[in-house]
């Protein structure tokens, strides 16, 4: 099987020859530690891992380029340092928010998932309807220059005969409106001015539809991913009733278009406890979610018992157990991987970015166990 076939089969409860090997990705501090523990500086960590474990996935014979479509604002706000004092930068970031970050990092870390970096937000660009009209809406023209690459048609043509995964990813409504209004600002508006929240969500729904349609008309994607981080430990950030009112209309508009195009996987990414959200996602036709953080109270085996093959999963292995190593790590993999693979619809991996408390030796041992359980060794 090709990697593309294996990936689709694994997440649609099919019959892959092996499960995709996806142990997880490190952030900068993690790599710094690993370099001190034996990972060569000039070698990609996965290439080094494959050499150590003694296998390499088959190279693609018909690789296809990414489609290069940009769902972000165009133009972006000017990114600039407004103030630097007491060991901190205060920055206007490219999304228009005023944000503070330690000068241990340069300001480009503000919106980049390069490391686990604490930031403080002072102000967001949307405080009211006037801000939304004047600062935001015009930046989301589906036909803006730069939205689609100049060689878009050529990229689509190359994607029609491929053995690599073709996917797009964009923000879902809670994530996007939070970027405009801030978390507290958005939640307050949901109570004080719900009609305004509905207007913003409808605007975002339509922008995504109009930007996505030219892709869906030309390429049969393998996966469409959405980012919707909207849960704490133990609970969703907003109630299921609010999800149905403010967010579900977007899912209900997007999913039929995606399904009609022949795309088999619609993947929802949300950190935190998602047990209250999975039923709503299933109702909307979303069929994969990740990363299933164990520390937030997610029990992937319990989810499988509740939801059966209506939802597939990626991730689900407790990063804390990987850091502990030894029998704790082995016990976690035994808890998760064999029972989930027995019922299908699962690609196991670390339940978020790999943190720097996971050593290189422990990551190697974890990866070896994972490769054995998924059919690679």
Which fold does the domain 3-72+128-373 belong to in CATH?
A: TIM Barrel (3.20.20)
- Tell me: pLDDT of 2 over 90: yes
Q: What is the CB neighbour count within 10 angstroms for residue 128?
A: 12
For the chain, which residues make up each domain, given as ranges? 3-72+128-373, 78-124
The pLDDT value given to residue 164: 97
- State the pairing for strand pair 223-227/346-350: unpaired
In the prediction, which pLDDT does 119 show?
87
Q: Is residue 295 classed as helix, strand or coil in its secondary structure?
A: helix
Residue-wise pLDDT tens digits, 159-179 = 999 999 999 999 999 999 999
pLDDT-above-90 percentage for the chain:
95
Average pLDDT over residues 298-308: 98
Q: CB of 219 within 8 A of CB of 160?
A: yes
Residue with tokens 């305004």: 196
Pairing of strands 312-317, 167-171: unpaired
Q: Is 75:139 a contact under the CB 8 Å cutoff? A: yes
Cβ atoms of 146 and 60 closer than 8 Å = no
Average pLDDT rounded to a whole number, residues 36-47? 97
Share of the chain above pLDDT 70, in %: 100
CA distances from 366 to 13, 193, 347 (A): 25, 49, 15
Orientation of helix 248-260 relative to helix 194-216, angle to 10°: 10
Query: What pLDDT is recorded for position 354?
Result: 97
Cis preceding linkage at 75, omega within 30: yes
pLDDT of 115 higher than 90: no
User: Could you give the CA distance from residue 225 to residue 72 in angstroms, rounded to a whole number?
Assistant: 15
Instruction: Give the pLDDT mean for 112-136.
Output: 92
- Per-residue pLDDT, 330: 98
What is the predicted pLDDT for the residue at 204? 98
Distances in whole angstroms, Cα of residue 82 to Cα of each of 56, 99, 190: 48, 10, 31
- What integer best gives the mean pLDDT of the chain? 96
pLDDT digits (tens, 9 = 90+) for 3-30: 999 999 999 999 999 999 999 999 999 9
């Amino acid at each position: 099987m090709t990697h593309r076939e294996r990936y689709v089969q694994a997440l649609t409860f099919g019959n892959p020859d092996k499960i995709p090997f996806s142990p997880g990705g490190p952030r900068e501090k993690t790599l710094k530690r690993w370099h001190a523990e034996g990972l060569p500086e000039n070698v990609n960590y996965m290439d080094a891992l494959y050499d150590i474990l003694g296998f390499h996935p088959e190279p693609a014979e018909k690789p296809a380029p990414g489609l290069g479509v940009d769902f972000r604002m165009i133009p972006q706000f000017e990114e600039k340092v407004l103030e630097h004092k007491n060991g901190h930068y205060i920055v206007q970031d490219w999304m228009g928010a005023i944000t503070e970050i330690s000068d241990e990092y340069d300001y480009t870390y503000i919106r980049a998932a390069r490391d686990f970096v604490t930031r403080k937000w002072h102000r967001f660009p949307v405080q009211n309807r006037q801000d939304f009209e004047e600062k935001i809406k015009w930046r989301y023209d589906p036909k803006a220059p730069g939205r689609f690459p100049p060689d878009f048609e050529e990229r689509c043509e190359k994607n029609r005969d491929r053995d690599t995964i073709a996917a797009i990813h964009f923000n879902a409504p809670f994530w996007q409106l939070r970027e405009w209004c801030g978390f507290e600002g958005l939640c307050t508006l949901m109570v004080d001015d719900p009609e305004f929240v509905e207007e913003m969500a409808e605007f975002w729904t339509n922008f995504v539809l109009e930007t996505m349609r030219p892709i869906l008309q030309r390429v049969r994607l393998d996966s469409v991913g959405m980012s919707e981080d909207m849960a704490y430990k133990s609970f969703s950030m907003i109630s299921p009733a609010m999800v149905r009112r403010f967010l579900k209309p977007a899912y209900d508009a997007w999913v039929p278009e995606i399904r009609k195009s022949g795309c088999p996987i619609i993947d929802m990414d949300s950190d935190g406890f998602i047990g209250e959200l999975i039923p709503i996602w299933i109702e909307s036709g979303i069929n994969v979610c990740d990363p299933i953080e164990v520390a937030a109270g997610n029990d992937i085996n319990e989810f499988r018992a509740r939801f059966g093959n209506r939802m597939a999963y990626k991730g689900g292995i407790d990063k804390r157990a990987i850091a502990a190593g030894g029998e704790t790590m082995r016990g976690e993999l035994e808890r998760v991987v064999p029972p989930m693979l027995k019922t299908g619809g699962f690609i196991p991996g670390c339940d978020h970015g790999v943190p720097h408390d996971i050593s290189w030796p422990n990551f190697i041992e974890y990866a070896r166990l994972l490769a054995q359980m998924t059919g690679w060794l």
